[in-house]
Amino acid sequence: MTSAALMPRTAEAPSNKQRLFVRYFTAILIDLVVLNLFVEHSDNVRIDSFSTSLLAAVLLQVLMQLTIAVEQRVAAVFKVNPGGLMTFLRFFCAWLVLFGSKFVILEALSFAFGDKVRFEGAFNGIVALVAVIVTMLVAEEGMVLVFRRLGNKSD
């Protein structure tokens, strides 16, 4: 059986909306896996059910995307002006947004889920949350790299 036999008769390229859906659907599933691995293997992350972890993964993905959007907007303000001070302010404000967002994320999770989702340990769970988010971002980027490599035409 040839690979052409496995292809549909008519194939349409996906629309931008379909690509965006697949991107975020995949990211949420990756976040769900990472979150549940932390629940299973860490004493600092506790979630009472799989359904709650699914909703938490969706909320985390939304909040991470909002954080990135805010950070890029703040950086753009300082990027238009040249100079060392503006470069410093751009990086400092980006760090401030990224650091401060973790407190917002913790509060949002607490507001949405109460005691059903808990990050515990050092600095009231900030370290556990940062570890989860960094792992999620690394896992998502890893999947993007695999996807791009699979798309190389040098098969």
Confidence at residue 112, expressed as pLDDT on a 0 to 100 scale: 97
Query: Which band of pLDDT confidence, cut at 50, 70 and 90, is reported for residue 2?
Result: low
Q: Say which residue, 109 or 10, is predicted with more confidence.
A: 109
**Residue 6: inside a domain:** no
Domain range for 124 is 22-148
Query: Which band of pLDDT confidence, cut at 50, 70 and 90, is reported for residue 80?
Result: confident
**Residue 142: inside a domain:** yes
Average pLDDT over residues 132-146: 94
Number of domains in the chain: 1
Average pLDDT over residues 82-109: 91
Confidence at residue 152, expressed as pLDDT on a 0 to 100 scale: 77
Comparing CA positions, the residue from 111, 99, 113, 104 lying closest to residue 45 is 113
**Residue 80: inside a domain:** yes
**Residue 127: inside a domain:** yes
Confidence at residue 154, expressed as pLDDT on a 0 to 100 scale: 62
* Residue 59 burial (CB count, 10 A): 19
**Residue 143: inside a domain:** yes
Comparing CA positions, the residue from 154, 105, 97, 149 lying closest to residue 126 is 105
How confident is the model over 30-56, as pLDDT tens digits? Answer: 999 999 999 999 999 999 999 999 999
- Return the structure tokens found at 122: 């050092």
Place of tokens 């060392």: 84
Residues 34 and 55 sit within 8 Å (Cβ to Cβ) = no
- Return the structure tokens found at 87: 């470069």
Look at the pTM and tell me if it is higher than 0.85: no
- Return the structure tokens found at 17: 């909306």
**Residue 39: inside a domain:** yes
Confidence at residue 79, expressed as pLDDT on a 0 to 100 scale: 86
Place of tokens 């549909």: 8
**Residue 7: inside a domain:** no
**Residue 44: inside a domain:** yes
Count Cα neighbours of 97 within 13 Å in the Cβ-side half-sphere: 18
